[in-house]
Chain A
Amino acid sequence: MDTTVPQRFVVPIGPQHPALKEPGHFEFTVDGEQVTGASVRLGYAHRGIEKATEGRNWVQNLYLLERICGICSHVHATAYCLGVEKLAGVTAPPRAQAIRLLVAELERIHSHLLWLGVAAHEAGFDTLFMYSWRDRETVMDILEALTGNRVNYSANLLGGVKFDLTPELTDQIYAGLELLEERTHQYVDVVTSDATLLQRTRGVGVTTREQAEELGLVGPTARASGVERDIRAEAPYAAYSDFPVKVVTATAGDLEARFVVRLQELFEAYRLIRAVLEKLPPGDLQARMPRKIKPAETISRVEAPRGELFYFIKSNGTDQPERIKVRTPTLCNLASVCVLAIGSQLADVPMILAGVDPCFSCNDRMVTVYSGDTDHTQWTWKQLRQYGIDYYRR
């Protein structure tokens, strides 16, 4: 065998794979241990939610859109509610806006702790996975006490929220935050000092600020590369103008920086929740919404735990929307995986993938093909349509 010729060997990963809890298919071309090409195939969890919204009324859509993603269901509902309220010319009462913020920050805590566990699991550090998921149960208990469900809380209504805070609940949240704050200090200590974990994270998957801006990264992934971009601070929605957010950034851009940024955001979330609990505005929980909405269109942006979430909503004068378009943060970030994977070790690829906190159920709306060997492949609408027809013909 001639060993001087570089061997092309393709490692397929997914759609069912232990490193990925969700279906996604990746193909990495490797030369020995080094990755030389990467491509991603998505769409296994594509259900056609955007189309389905056109056949349901405004209220029914709230529950459908909440189930785009089980991890960040509240931000989807918030983005949708804020958009529809803007179309209808209704403003939710201040108390409702503050409770929206409160639930959103509780959700951020749950999502970041979940990510910490999953990322530690990918690094082979299962002890941290078990610890962080044990502590995550504290925030799950709070969410359950507040809204009655651990996941898909359904706290939002068009024009307000469903649930109010009671004094007992406030005490429970304070106690929970105290415990979590103490634990988070320990996690920051672990991810910045544990020698084994640092070998998997420090200097791995480095994204420079230029790369991050070029690839259009969003959320904590971009903030770890020094891009100061946070919808909560740039375009405050809900009650974020009354409770301003301090944007957490880091400059290193490697996986360690992503760990640190997400953990520091937890402290920011604890601070915000305490501020809301101290100065919760009095008043009603819900404003009256019309059943039908006059023809108009609007956009609505919120900061999901993973980055910017964007909704485009168009109404046509009936009780059903004309069109709803969702743009979720994972798709923006996923392109960076294919770029960063090239040149890295195959063993680091799951860590790089976990580093963007991928969420495929939010994400499966289109097919992007990128190959290290050739240029970007772009499909026209006609080609894409023909591909779809041919694919489903059999």
Chain B
Amino acid sequence: MTWQHMVDEFRTWARVNSPWVVHFNTGSCNGCDIEILATLTPRYDAERFGVKLEGSPRHADVLICTGPVTRQARDRLLRVYEQMPEPKFVIAVGSCAISGGVFQGCYNVIGHIDEVIPVDVYIPGCPPRPEAILDGVVKLLSHLKDPVLETMQEAG
């Protein structure tokens, strides 16, 4: 086992056990935002997976986005994404973040999140239940732990 390999293993272990998330609302109706907050509170308790809601994008590993991307929020979303250190992951929460949802065709809505930044996990729902958000986070973590195994499981 090389030195580099050991360092990488350690990094992955640390990342999987304590992902710090930053939340950015790109024009959502609030429904998804309150469900994300509910995910962190005692009934659902995302902190048992080491998830911590972090204020600054510079300290965060995972960006949780809600809502369709509005024209005003687009540049800010890009800036928040670019401020995050590598490697970074994006979770799109809610129908609007995935497809624009009910706001498709509104004049100030550009579209969905992955038209602006790459997305790793999509969580559907209007809004998704906290259990669904937890499931999305856990899927991302197990993917980080072992990308190959995860791909094989998905393929059946």
Q: Do A and B come from one complex?
A: yes
Residue of chain B at shortest CB distance from A14: B76
Residue of chain A at shortest CB distance from B95: A67
Find chain A residues with CB under 8 A from B126 CB: 67, 152
B76 touches A45 (CB 8 A): no
Q: Give CA–CA (A82, B28) in the complex, Å.
A: 25
A70-B30, A70-B31, A392-B71 as given contacts; A49 in contact with B103, CB under 8 Å: yes
Interface centre among A16, A52, A114 (most CB of B within 10 A): A16
B106 touches A48 (CB 8 A): yes
B23 touches A21 (CB 8 A): yes
Q: Give CA–CA (A308, B54) in the complex, Å.
A: 34
- Binary interface encoding of chain A residues 47-89 relative to chain B, with 1 for a CB under 8 A from any of its CBs, else 0: 1110110010000000110011111010000000000000000
Which listed residue (B35, B67, B102) contacts A150, Cβ 8 A?
B35
A71-B30, A73-B31 as given contacts; A133 in contact with B38, CB under 8 Å: yes
B55 touches A17 (CB 8 A): yes
Which listed residue (B27, B43, B76, B129) contacts A47, Cβ 8 A?
B27
Which listed residue (B56, B105, B127) contacts A52, Cβ 8 A?
B105
B32 touches A47 (CB 8 A): no
Q: Does A22 contact B (CB under 8 A)?
A: yes
A51 touches B107 (CB 8 A): yes
Q: Does A372 contact B (CB under 8 A)?
A: no
A21 touches B37 (CB 8 A): yes
Q: Give CA–CA (A392, B56) in the complex, Å.
A: 28
A133-B42, A392-B71 as given contacts; A45 in contact with B127, CB under 8 Å: no
Residue of chain A at shortest CB distance from B42: A134
Q: Does A46 contact B (CB under 8 A)?
A: yes
Which listed residue (B32, B33, B41, B107) contacts A134, Cβ 8 A?
B41
Q: Give CA–CA (A70, B32) in the complex, Å.
A: 8
Number of A residues with CB within 8 Å of any CB on chain B: 41
Which listed residue (A52, A133, A152) contacts B103, Cβ 8 A?
A52
A46 touches B70 (CB 8 A): yes
Q: Give CA–CA (A18, B22) in the complex, Å.
A: 9
B73 touches A150 (CB 8 A): no
- Minimum CB–CB distance from A329 to chain B (whole Å) comes to 14
Q: Does B72 contact A (CB under 8 A)?
A: yes
Number of B residues with CB within 8 Å of any CB on chain A: 43
Residue of chain A at shortest CB distance from B77: A16
A45-B67, A64-B102, A69-B30 as given contacts; A15 in contact with B127, CB under 8 Å: no
Find chain A residues with CB under 8 A from B73 CB: 15, 23, 44-45
A152 touches B31 (CB 8 A): yes
Q: Give CA–CA (A136, B34) in the complex, Å.
A: 12
Q: Does B16 contact A (CB under 8 A)?
A: no
Q: Give CA–CA (A19, B23) in the complex, Å.
A: 11
Find chain A residues with CB under 8 A from B25 CB: 21-23, 45, 361
A45 touches B42 (CB 8 A): no
Find chain B residues with CB under 8 A from A16 CB: 22, 24, 57, 76, 80
Q: Does B29 contact A (CB under 8 A)?
A: yes
Find chain B residues with CB under 8 A from A47 CB: 27, 68, 70, 103, 106, 108-109
**Smallest CB-CB A-B distances: 8 pairs:** A70-B31, A18-B55, A70-B30, A133-B41, A48-B106, A151-B31, A48-B108, A70-B29
A interface vs B, CB < 8 Å? Answer: 15-19, 21-23, 43-49, 51-52, 55, 63-64, 67-71, 73, 114, 117, 129-130, 133-134, 136-137, 140, 150-152, 359, 361, 392
B interface vs A, CB < 8 Å? Answer: 22-35, 37-38, 41-43, 53-57, 67-68, 70-73, 76, 80, 101-103, 105-109, 126-127, 129
Task: Offer 18 A-B interface pairs, CB within 8 angstroms, sorted by A.
Answer: A19-B55, A21-B37, A22-B25, A23-B27, A23-B76, A44-B72, A45-B73, A48-B108, A48-B109, A67-B103, A69-B29, A71-B34, A129-B41, A133-B43, A134-B41, A140-B38, A361-B30, A392-B71
